[in-house]
């Protein structure tokens, strides 16, 4: 089995692309280690990350930088082999309609994507008697062709998106309430390592769930001035709070202060947190 991992924003980072990809791979490895998932190898062809595993890794949905992933089977990139792979994948499935979504990421076949869709669609119709339906089919059979191989799948799980954790440096996050937790989450999604600090213990389970690539531990402080000390010690680029326009309170700090929720309403914060926790 192969997990086909797709990523979005980091593909646009030009000369830094390789660095971003390596960091994403490191975070994926951390995810699998923490969840006791063994793997045989991780490959990094252009545009995808391929993980050879024996089980589905659902926890990949919590790794920042991943836009989607699929559990796939791999065959040689020849039409006959792809046809056999499709049959093995759908033979036990109950469906009446399907579509073929083929994509050549490398030109490993003589046939282009539209021609593959036509040839493979006709094959499935002939073998199963099922109908092609381009809109809302019972099964969408995806085929991605890379470097002499075809990866065939029928499901696509959504990822967390954003940038890989750790590619944008470190920030110190003041944690006093749920809004501060959301602000810290948004900074993680933009690729920042975070150092949470607070005056009392607080539930950080939401941040821990998405923390593949770094450990999360709350540092206790006694006053606001200590935040600057923690930031200096951690070589952080900024201090982050969950203040909004309604709750804005200027912080006298030596470091830059970021407020990613400044334009949020209380209702927007509650809705974002509700979606993340369900």
Q: Tell me the pLDDT tens digit for each residue of 215-241.
A: 999 999 999 889 999 999 999 999 999
Distances (CA, A) of 187 to 224, 228, 260: 20, 18, 8
| Kind of pairing between the strands at 256-258 and 238-240 | parallel
What is the 8-class DSSP label of residue 19?
H
State mean pLDDT over 181-207: 97
Res. 63: pLDDT tops 70: yes
State mean pLDDT over 23-51: 93
Task: Give which of 63, 33, 34 is closest to 49, Cα–Cα.
Answer: 63
Map out the domains of the chain with their CATH numbers.
2-158 (3.30.2130.30), 170-277 (3.40.50.620)
**Cβ(42)–Cβ(28) under 8 Å?**
yes
Beta-strand runs (E) in the chain = 2-7, 39-43, 48-53, 66-76, 97-104, 131-132, 139-146, 149-153, 157-158, 170-174, 193-198, 219-220, 238-240, 256-258
State mean pLDDT over 201-210: 96
- DSSP characters for 224-256? THHHHHHHHHTT-SEEE----TTT------SSE
| Pairwise CA distance, residues 227 & 232, whole Å | 9
Model confidence at 56, in pLDDT bands (50, 70, 90)? confident
State mean pLDDT over 101-120: 89
Q: Residue 14: its pLDDT value, please?
A: 64
Q: Mutual orientation of helices 266-277 and 178-189 as an angle, nearest 10°? A: 70
Radius of gyration of the chain (CA): 23
| Count of beta carbons in the 10 Å neighbourhood of residue 98 | 23
| Pairwise CA distance, residues 195 & 233, whole Å | 11
pTM comes to 0.91
Q: Residue 68: its pLDDT value, please?
A: 97
Token pair belonging to 21: 């990809």
- Stretch among 14-18, 37-41, 179-183 having the lowest mean pLDDT: 14-18
Res. 10: pLDDT tops 60: no
Res. 17: pLDDT tops 60: yes
Q: Residue 8: its pLDDT value, please?
A: 81
Task: State whether residue 188 is helix, strand or coil.
Answer: helix
Q: Residue 249: its pLDDT value, please?
A: 77
Task: State whether residue 51 is helix, strand or coil.
Answer: strand
């Amino acid at each position: 089995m192969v997990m086909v991992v797709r990523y979005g924003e980091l593909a646009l980072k030009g000369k830094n692309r390789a660095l971003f990809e390596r960091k994403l791979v490191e975070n994926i490895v951390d995810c699998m280690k923490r969840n006791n998932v063994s793997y045989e190898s991780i490959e990094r062809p252009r545009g995808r990350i391929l993980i050879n595993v024996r089980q589905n890794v659902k926890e990949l949905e919590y790794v920042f930088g991943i836009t989607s992933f699929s559990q796939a089977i791999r065959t040689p990139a020849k039409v006959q082999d792809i046809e056999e792979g499709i049959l093995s994948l759908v033979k036990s499935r109950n469906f009446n309609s399907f579509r073929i979504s083929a994509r050549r990421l490398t030109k490993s076949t003589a046939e282009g994507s539209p021609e593959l869709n036509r040839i493979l669609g006709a094959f499935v119709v002939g073998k199963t008697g099922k109908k092609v339906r381009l809109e809302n089919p019972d099964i969408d059979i995806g085929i991605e062709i890379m470097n002499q191989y075809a990866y065939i799948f029928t499901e696509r799980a959504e990822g967390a998106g954003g940038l890989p954790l750790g590619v944008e440096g470190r920030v110190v996050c003041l944690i006093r309430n749920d809004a501060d937790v959301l602000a810290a989450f948004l900074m993680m999604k933009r690729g920042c390592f975070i150092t949470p600090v607070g005056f009392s213990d607080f539930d950080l389970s939401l941040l821990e769930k998405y923390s593949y690539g770094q450990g999360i531990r709350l540092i206790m402080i006694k006053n606001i001035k200590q935040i600057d000390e923690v930031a200096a010690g951690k070589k952080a680029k900024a201090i982050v709070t969950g203040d909004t326009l309604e709750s804005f309170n200027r912080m006298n700090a030596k470091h830059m202060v970021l407020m990613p929720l400044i334009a949020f309403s209380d209702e927007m914060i509650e809705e974002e947190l509700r979606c993340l926790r369900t």
